[in-house]
Amino acid sequence: MIRDLAVRAADGSAVPLSTYDGRVLLIVNTASKCGFTPQYEGLEALHRRYADRGLSVFAFPCNQFGAQEPGDAAEIASFCRLSYDVSFPVFAKIDVNGADADPLFEALKTAAPGVLGSKGIKWNFTKFLVTRDDTVTRYAPTTKPEDLSADIEAALG
């Protein structure tokens, strides 16, 4: 299950996802220099709109797509805060594909394969909505955060 895993905070410390039991999770692989980077604004809007009802938005910076996330943790955090006023957690930079793929993203890809059953993540800002019972839905990078509102509402009950 997704919540049996732990992830790394930007400072490198372990964060058990069980800490978020009872919450709906929106997990996104992000990048600061991508055409989809303005989606941070929409992700922050979702966070502000639904956090009190049980939504947690998580960003996982990734440099695997066009080297569009070259910065270190401090640079990424500063960019997110100053450019998009991000107040949701931005975790440690990870790989989402390949031999060094983070176990969370391996679990997400297995739970919600992409088009035609493909497992690989194709680009930055692929989104995964994880319900309270760990049901996972995948959304393409082109899906705007605001287009997830109905699914988030349903997941929150």
Neighbouring-strand partners of residue 101: 95
Backbone phi and psi for residue 44, each to the nearest 5 degrees, phi listed first: -65, -40
Residue 62 annotated as catalytic: no
Helices (H), 7-102: 39-50, 73-84
Number of alpha carbons in the 13 Å side-chain half-sphere of residue 92 = 14
Q: Is 31 exposed, middle or buried (0-12, 13-18, 19+ CB in 10 A)?
A: buried
Catalytically annotated residue among 34, 92, 108, 148? 34
On whether the CB atoms of residues 55 and 152 are closer than 8 A, the answer is yes
- Would you name the residues annotated as active-site residues? 34
